[in-house]
A and B are shown apart, each in its own frame.
Chain A
Amino acid sequence: MTNYSSKILNNSVSGLTANQAALATIGNNIANVNTPGYTRRTAVLETRPGQRSAGTGVDVGSGVQVADVSRASDQYLEALLRDSIGSKAQDELKNDYIARIDDLFDLSGTTPTIGSALNSFFDSINQLSLNPSSIELRANVIQRGNDLTSTIQLTYNTIASTQDELDRRLTSEIDNVNSLASQIAELNGTISQREAAGGLAADQRDQRDNLLNKLSEKIGFNVVEDSNGMVNLTLDNGFPIVGGTNARTLSLTGNPTFATGTVPPSLSGGVLRYIVYDYGGSEFDLTNSLKNSSGTIAGILQLRGTNSNINATSPFVADGALVAVASRVEAFTRQLLTEVNHQYLGKDANGIEIDEAPATTLFEPSAVDLNGNPAGGFLNPFGLFDFSSLSVTPKDNPADGRPTQSDLDNVLADTSSGITNFSSKIVFAFSDPTRLAAGLDIDVATQNSVTGAQGDGRNMTNFLGLKNREVDFTSGTFALNDSTFSDSFSEMVTYVGNTTSAYALNAKVSGDSFTAAASRRDEVSAVSLDEEFTRLIQYQKAFQASARMVKIADDLLSQIVGLI
């Protein structure tokens, strides 16, 4: 006779165990409903492999066992989610920082801007032309000139310090990347060991996916899982960040080995650092490929700017919105130092630029000031507007007696001057109201002689012609030709406005994409309490039924024993 009694018991007990395991899994899911990156688990039940009973009995089955606990995870959706995390982080960072530049060009009239300061300056000149000997009006011109230069300095310095701040932020971002990469590498080892012994290392895989998401916030990368359960992470250019249990460490340097000589300066005169991998002596440049991927580091590099020409000497040839705005400010400053100074120092009656007209036909500003002394000189200072420096001599180089763009270029080219831009250094050259030359020489005969008239305001009246004069604004790669000063400011405002709204729109779109991608991933992987509780009831019932079976089996056995 075949004895099936043990089978009854064993099969029921297996039901208890398996359903308990399923309940435990459900309990785990419920406990982790709010754990970030958790993937819901399901106990996979399968029938236990049959063993023929002793004798010639039939196979009545051997119960149930838990084959494995599976994770509901779709690799494609996880990759989509990582991409959207990267885009969102990148666009939100750019949106946050560009708001600071937007603030510099207030349109409500409550804070001064370069445009409003320029208007005030022209207004003060206009008032002075009517009453050139008035000390109050002259002092007003000096005040407005100072307001203009300090607004320019403030605008430029804010942009430059934003660039510096972004560069400094790279340090903590790269540290994060390195730490996340090494944690991922370590988990690779753990997962591969656990899974070699059999079974899915679900918790560790969840942890690893979580770390991959965090890393996506910083950089964009490709993930390939090998047959050992380890993931290999590579950048778009193929550079491996994590290979098996090895993680590569990235570093930042302002003095990379692949630069011959000094690297291009930042807007503030400092350095924009490079992200490199050190091969033990020689460095591999990762900056450009990281800039073109995604994540906060891409956002930082895109906004901060990177130099495609490592031998450039100007901070204005880097790319990025910050440099673009700073270039516009610099172009404006350069015209203040040249065109505006030219006008103050005199043009001929036809308005021809000084370097084109023969010197003898010039009407120079009157060579006397209000006190009857020789008026505020030329090269020291540069004119109405000057740039402060400790060690630049001579400023007029090539020496032609007037301020030109070549003079400015030569100052920049002279590395010992320590000057990389003029916008942070521009000052109004006069502090003594009596020294402004408001008048011109009385006539050609008295040119360059030390005579003038106190009530002569013709130099100031002529000055107003600058408002409508068209000049070329250039700096670095920025060029705006045949524009007035107010055109140049309008263009600056338009650029800032367009960039800010584009970044804001991108941030919104990425935010929405992230929400959509997260939802799609959650559709598959997140815990639904409704679902879990319903399944709970299902397995609970199965458990109760199995328990009942155990009791029945026990009764049967007792009856058999009772027979003896």
Chain B
Amino acid sequence: MTRVSENQQARRFVSQILENKRQVNRFGYEVSSGLKVSQPGDSSVSGTITRFQQSVDNVASYKAVIAEAKSSIELQDNVMNQMNEIMIRLKEVAAQAANETNGAETRAQMSEEVFQIRDQIAVLANTTYHGRYLYGGAADDTPPYYQNATTAYTNPATGPESRHWVFDAAAPGRTVLRDVQINDDFFITTNTVGSDVFSTAMQAAETLGRSMKGYATGTPPAGNAYVFPADFAQQTLDIKAAMDQLDVARTTQIIPERTELGGKLKRIEAAESLLELTKTTSQEVLARLQNADEAEAASNLALAQTALQASYSVTAKILNDSILNYI
């Protein structure tokens, strides 16, 4: 440069001051917001940032679903626990009743407990969760098990021994299972069809109770009363058959269901840890791409402020110096 005019100097200094101010602004924002990239123009990898943000959002969404699904499955597990206890108790009662040292009247008395337990099975089968029937399938607004005058035995016509619980298979969607997504391409079924779990147990309890009370069991409204003492041996056989049915209920319905539920809970836990890992990894990448390093931003800010002050002071010094000071 051969000549330097006042214009040039002023322009240069002004543009340098403005540039330094821009830097102070930028680093100030980084320090206060903690973010290096807050808009797409701030980075060349903004597309990647949105992908990882979506990943983190997905995790939160799946976790909420998992929490719901888990609590529903845990409730079902609880129900199965109770059913297991019930089967054990019924077996005990049945074993006692089968012993022929107990007469028909004793057996009839003991049957009261059996009928209570049978009704308890119905209560369990009609468990609700958030006001919807847990074992109702997709038709979860109506109870899966019901009994009324139409379904009842006619012999006898009254009393707990006449009640007959029926699985309401006719309701549309009764057997539809619910799959929920707990991770990308990862689904679990959160419910079971009621009859798959309770039907045999219910049948066994009913048969046991009626036999002990003194009635045969068939398809309602059939079921004749035993005539004693001729049918005593038949009663014993019927009680033993009911005991076998209790075993069948346990081994073919209740225990498999408990195993299944245990497996579901394990799969949910696996999904949860995978989600946690995904979230941690995504957040780490996001932090690297998007967050400002506090120490670095703070020191950049300090440097920028120093540069700004230096440019102020240099500007003042140099622009003040002119030949006018000397002539």
Query: Which residues of A pack against B, CB within 8 Å?
Result: 33-34, 98-99, 102-103, 105-109, 115-116, 119-120, 122-123, 126-127, 129-131, 133-134, 439, 442, 446, 451-458, 461, 464, 467-468, 486, 489-491, 493-494, 496-501, 504, 511, 515, 518-519, 522-524, 526-531, 533-534, 537
Contact = CB atoms under 8 A, between A and B. Distances in A.
Interface in B132-190: 132, 136-141, 171-174, 176, 178-181, 184-185, 187, 190
Contact of A537 (B46, B180, B184, B327): B327
Contact of B62 (A99, A126, A526): A126
Nearest to A519: B8
Nearest to B327: A533
B74 to A, nearest CB: 15
Contacts of A102: 39-41
Contact of B171 (A133, A453, A461): A453
Nearest to A129: B180
Interface in B33-52: 33, 35, 37-44, 46-51
A514 B218 CA distance: 102
A130 B50 CA distance: 27
A455 B173 contact: yes
Interface stretch (B53-61, B103-111, B264-272, B303-311): B53-61
Given A455-B141, A519-B11, A442 B172 contact: yes
B140 A133 contact: yes
B54 A106 contact: no
B323 A490 contact: no
Contacts of A123: 57, 60-61, 64
Contacts of A34: 6-7
B40 A461 contact: no
A131 B130 contact: yes
B313 to A, nearest CB: 21
Contact of B176 (A458, A496, A526): A458
Nearest to B142: A454
Contact of B181 (A461, A511, A515): A461
B5 A108 contact: no
Nearest to B16: A515
A515 B19 CA distance: 13
Given A439-B138, A533-B324, A453 B176 contact: yes
B178 A455 contact: yes
Given A442-B172, A493-B46, 20 more contacts: A34-B7, A98-B41, A106-B38, A107-B40, A107-B50, A127-B64, A129-B180, A439-B138, A446-B172, A451-B172, A452-B173, A455-B136, A461-B187, A464-B181, A490-B48, A493-B40, A497-B40, A515-B11, A526-B6, A528-B4
Contact of B8 (A105, A494, A522): A522
B140 A454 contact: yes
Given A131-B130, A490-B51, A523-B1, A501 B179 contact: no
Contacts of B51: 486, 490
A433 to B, nearest CB: 16
A385 to B, nearest CB: 20
Contacts of B48: 490
Given A454-B140, A454-B141, A497 B46 contact: yes
A468 B54 CA distance: 13
Contacts of A446: 172
A130 B171 contact: no
Nearest to A123: B61
Nearest to B55: A486
Interface string B242-275: 0000000000000000000000000000000000
Contact of A452 (B6, B172, B181): B172
Contact of A108 (B1, B35, B130): B35
A126 B181 contact: yes
What 4 pairs between A and B have smallest CB-CB spacing?
A453-B173, A500-B41, A497-B40, A494-B47
A528 B1 CA distance: 13
A497 B137 CA distance: 49
A490 B137 contact: no
Nearest to B37: A107
Q: Which of B43, B49, B57 has the most CB of A within 10 A?
A: B57
Contacts of A105: 39-40, 46
Contact of A456 (B43, B173, B327): B173
A524 B40 contact: no
A80 B43 CA distance: 33
Interface of B: 1-8, 11-12, 15, 33, 35, 37-44, 46-51, 53-54, 57-58, 60-62, 64-65, 68-69, 130, 132, 136-141, 171-174, 176, 178-181, 184-185, 187, 190, 290, 322-324, 327
B184 A468 contact: yes
Given A122-B61, A504-B41, A458 B179 contact: yes
Contacts of B130: 131, 134
B142 to A, nearest CB: 9
Contacts of A457: 138, 178, 180
Given A453-B138, A454-B141, A493 B50 contact: yes
Nearest to A110: B38
Contact of B58 (A99, A119, A522, A533): A119
B193 to A, nearest CB: 12
A273 to B, nearest CB: 29
B185 A523 contact: no
A446 B178 CA distance: 19
B200 to A, nearest CB: 24
Nearest to B47: A494
A321 to B, nearest CB: 12
A180 to B, nearest CB: 23
Contact of A496 (B41, B53, B64, B136): B41
Contacts of B50: 107, 115, 486, 489-490, 493
A412 B190 CA distance: 45
B41 A497 contact: yes
A427 B98 CA distance: 71
A533 to B, nearest CB: 5
14 contacts: A34-B6, A106-B38, A107-B39, A108-B33, A127-B61, A127-B68, A130-B178, A133-B141, A468-B184, A497-B42, A519-B8, A526-B3, A528-B5, A531-B3
B125 to A, nearest CB: 16
B47 A523 contact: no
Contacts of B62: 126
B3 A523 contact: yes
A510 B50 CA distance: 31
Contacts of B44: 497-498, 501
A134 B35 CA distance: 39
Contact of B180 (A122, A130, A498, A504): A130
B54 A497 contact: no
A116 B58 CA distance: 11
A107 B38 contact: yes
Contacts of B323: 529-530, 533-534
Contacts of A452: 172-173
Nearest to B130: A131
Q: Which of B38, B44, B327 has the most CB of A within 10 A?
A: B38
A527 B10 CA distance: 13
Contacts of A464: 181
Contacts of A103: 39
Contact of B41 (A130, A439, A501): A501
Contact of A442 (B53, B173, B178, B180): B173
A457 B137 CA distance: 11
Contacts of B37: 107
